[in-house]
């Protein structure tokens, strides 16, 4: 039942920390490689670097809702939202099954 999930490459769920600037402050964010891959795709689609995309997202969240209590969770959910709303990603996911 769970083989498709259990058999995935461990590198996919290994964590990676990246350093970047949010609102001029140096910080680091630790996410699983699968999420970094999606964030890289979103940034490339928008024609910006991943740190620029993340910084812009953070600024927009601050403006709309104030400081998020868990920004890394917001990033993970942004990746899920991207997967839900990007038809080409859904088609690619289904084709890989």
Q: What pLDDT sits at residue 88?
A: 63
Specify the CATH number for the domain of residue 84.
1.10.3990.20
Series of mean pLDDT values for 10-residue runs along the chain (97 residues): 87 95 91 96 94 96 94 96 76 46
Number of domains in the chain: 1
Q: What pLDDT sits at residue 23?
A: 80
Judge whether 28 lies within some domain: yes
Judge whether 54 lies within some domain: yes
Judge whether 4 lies within some domain: no
Judge whether 18 lies within some domain: yes
Residues of the domain holding 25: 10-95
Q: What pLDDT sits at residue 91?
A: 47
Q: What does pTM read for this prediction? A: 0.84
Judge whether 1 lies within some domain: no
Buried b (16+ CB within 10 A) or exposed e, 51-76: bebbbebbeeeeeeeeeeeebeeebb
Q: What pLDDT sits at residue 89?
A: 54
């Amino acid at each position: 039942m769970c083989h498709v999930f259990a058999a995935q490459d461990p590198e996919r769920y290994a964590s990676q920390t990246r350093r970047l600037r949010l609102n001029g402050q140096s910080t680091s964010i630790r996410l699983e490689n699968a999420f970094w891959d999606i964030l890289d795709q979103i940034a490339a689609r928008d024609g910006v670097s991943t740190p620029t995309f993340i910084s812009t997202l953070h600024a927009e969240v601050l403006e709309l809702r104030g400081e998020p209590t868990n920004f890394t969770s917001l990033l993970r959910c942004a990746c899920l939202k991207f997967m839900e709303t990007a038809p080409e990603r859904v088609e690619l996911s289904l084709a890989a099954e």
